[in-house]
Structure 1
Amino acid sequence: MITEISEKLLLGIALAAPPGPVTVEMIKRGLNKGFFAAFNIRLGGAIGNSICLIAAFFGLSVLQSYPRWLDLLGILGAIFIIYLGLTTLKNKIDKKIFASLDSDGVTGGALKSLWIGLMLAVVNPVALVFWLGIYAATVDTQAASVDFRGLWFNFFIIAGVLLWGAFLSGLLEGGRRILNEKSISLISIFAGILLVGYGLKYGLTILSGLIS
């Protein structure tokens, strides 16, 4: 159980670490308003991620009578995770991130930050497809079932996202001296390697189950 929980936490960290819309907004607000302004963005995003994860759970529950479809979605999910990792390794960092980090437009308190994070996570047109792929790749294909135990364990992915959010928010207290293009590039490389590794692991697990 500890191994499974640790794996989910690391996957959550790897998914949250590469620079994206939520991370960019975190950096912008964190550099200007500190830890909680940044963390509330990630917290709102995690709430949105949880909504998409629950929706993915109920979507896959409909398909559990068709294990081959679950296997197919799982393989596609593993490929998607590998793709995310390779894209992260290729891009490393978007130079536009630091060019846009000014204080203009950074207004509002905790509730606004939560709302912005939630909207960035939910309004994203690929959010549900993203979590459907992640969930399908992490389903226990040997049991060929989508149950509440699996949903519970996948919430540790969200916990990993929040852990990374707290870590990044702490770094932002140090300002641009700590969080610069070089450090974000190194973080992205680490996250990319983790994502590729997890994608390969999940994909090979599903394929070995099909062969056996």
Structure 2
Amino acid sequence: MVTLFLTNILLGLSIALPVGTITIEMTKQGLKNGFMHGWVVGLGGMTVDLVLILLLYFGLASVLAVPIIQTFLWLLGALFLLYVGYDSIKNAGHGISLSGEKSTKSLKSSYFNGLLVAVSPGNLVFWVSIFGPILINSFDASNTINFLVIGSGILIGILIHDIGLMTIIAGTRKVLNTRYIQWASVLAGVILIGFSVYFFIEFYRSVGTLRG
């Protein structure tokens, strides 16, 4: 059981390591407002991950396999990422608190940003394709221990990654001035809008597939 737990902590770390929309938003908020704000973005993403784990356990994978549902999710994700990316560029020079200063941005707002970025087709499809098979193999109606061990291991792995990333960002932030942080926010916004464009393209392709 211990080996299973440690293995899935490593899986959680592997899931979190690739640079994606959550990592970009965490880095941006960490640079602009400090460790806690970046970490809270990660907690927002983990909230979505936890909900997805539970829903996958109860059969969400079959629902997400429906083409019209996937099409809707591509559009929803594109709109969310477009909003977050635009907001990142528009407010790049606002709400920046240098090391030692108190942030004017609320933790609740950072958490909500994490939720918005995490609710995307890429995240959903990733969880279905990676975690779905693991859940199916571990599912046992009479014994849910394996499921709890796997799920908690993965989430702890993601948490370790988030804390490690924010520790690095917090150290980097101490040597950056407002101008560099502002440009980092603009770059993050451009990348998020890039993801949004990709999601819009996938939405268009999905609509074409439905019509065909």
Same fold per superposition (TM over 0.5): yes
> Aligned partner of 1:58: which letter?
F
Secondary structure class of the residue paired with 1:104: coil
CA contact (8 A) 1:53 1:128 kept: no
**Which secondary structure does the structure 1 equivalent of 2:13 belong to?**
helix
Provide the secondary structure at the position in 1 that maps to 2:59: helix
What is aligned with 1:157?
154
- Specify whether residues 143 and 162 from structure 1 end up closer, same or farther in structure 2 by C-alpha distance, changes over 3 A only: closer
1:176-201 CA distance string (max 9 Å, x none): 699xxxxxxxxxxxxxxxxxxxxxxx
Equivalent residues in 2 for 1:67-106, closer than 5 Å: 103-104=92-93
Deviation track 1:75-115 (CA, whole Å, cap 9, x = no partner) reads: xxxxxxxxxxxxxxxxxxxxxxxxx8x94365731101111
Q: Which residue of 2 aligns with 1:7?
A: 7
* Matched residue type, 1:118: L
Q: Structure 2 matches for 1:11-90, cutoff 5 A?
A: 11-59=11-59
TM score, norm. by length of structure 1: 0.56
Gaps of 5+ in 2: 63-88, 97-104, 176-212
Is residue 164 of structure 2 the alignment partner of residue 175 of structure 1? no
| Structure exhibiting the larger radius of gyration computed from Cα positions | 2
Question: Residues 141 and 49 from structure 1, CA distance in 2 versus in 1: closer, same or farther, beyond 3 angstroms?
Answer: closer
Deviation sequence 1:44-82 (CA, Å, 0-9, x none):
1000111111111101798xxxxxxxxxxxxxxxxxxxx
Deviation, 1:28, is 0.9
* Structure 1 segments unaligned to the other structure (5+ residues): 63-99, 179-212
User: RMSD value over aligned CA atoms?
Assistant: 3.2
**Secondary structure of residue in 1 paired with 2:121:** coil
Alignment size in residue pairs: 140
4+ residue segments displaced more than 6 Å: 142-146
Q: Is the 8 A contact 1:16 1:161 kept in 2?
A: yes
Partner residue in 2 for 1:128 = 124
Query: What letter corresponds to residue 49 of structure 1 in structure 2?
Result: D
Scaled by the length of structure 2, what TM-score is found? 0.56
Contact kept, 8 Å, 1:52 with 1:131, in 2: the verdict is yes
The whole-number CA distance in structure 2 between the counterparts of 1:146 and 1:60 is: 20
